[in-house]
Amino acid sequence: MANIPTMGRSVNSVIYNLAFSPKIKFIDLEGMKATDSDTAEALFKLVNISGSIETLNLNRSDVINKLTEDFYKSVGQSKSLKYLNLGVETDNINTVSASLIAKAVSMNKRSKGGLEALVLKNWFTSN
């Protein structure tokens, strides 16, 4: 589903249903646009429910700014998630999101989670 910007909201039910798949290891939503809060909710449920998801690529997806505190908590508690890409095109990440990802990484480490790599391209740059 990567780099298909028109998928937008159509992907919500797909993501949610994949959360129940015991074999899903990789989700790539790179470049996806026109997402909404339901997309963010589906991603939260995916990370929270799935015991097999290892890679979640949201690079340049507009859903990043819609992710909730619950999503970040689920990242912190995940035992299976190894690679998370939250790269953005411009430095428009708010300080709340930055604080939440920092807490998630810390929680993941303390709970012996699986997170090995995190991409936050352009989160902390300023022009």
What is the model's pLDDT at position 124?
A: 81
Distances (CA, A) of 79 to 17, 25, 33, 47: 20, 13, 28, 10
- Domain boundaries defined on the chain: 5-119
- One-letter amino acid at 111 equals S
Question: What does the alpha-carbon distance between residue 27 and residue 54 come to, in Å, rounded to a whole number?
Answer: 9
Determine the average pLDDT of the residues in 65-75.
Answer: 96
Among candidates 111, 44, 120, which has minimal Cα distance to 79?
A: 111
Give the list of residues 6+ apart from residue 10 with CB closer than 8 angstroms, or none.
Answer: none
Question: What does the alpha-carbon distance between residue 13 and residue 125 come to, in Å, rounded to a whole number?
Answer: 34
User: Tens digits of per-residue pLDDT, 49-68?
Assistant: 999 999 999 999 989 999 99
pTM of the model: 0.89
10 versus 28: which is more confidently predicted? 28
Share of the chain above pLDDT 70, in %: 91
pLDDT(7) > 70: no
Query: What's the mean pLDDT when you consider all of the chain?
Result: 89
Where does the pLDDT of residue 93 fall: very low under 50, low under 70, confident under 90, or very high at 90 and above? Answer: confident
Q: Find where tokens 């428009």 sit.
A: 92
Helices and strands per DSSP (H, E), number in the chain: 4, 4
Q: Which fold has domain 5-119?
A: 3.80.10
Count of other CB atoms within 10 angstroms of residue 40:
19
Residue 55 half-sphere exposure toward CB, CA atoms < 13 A? 8
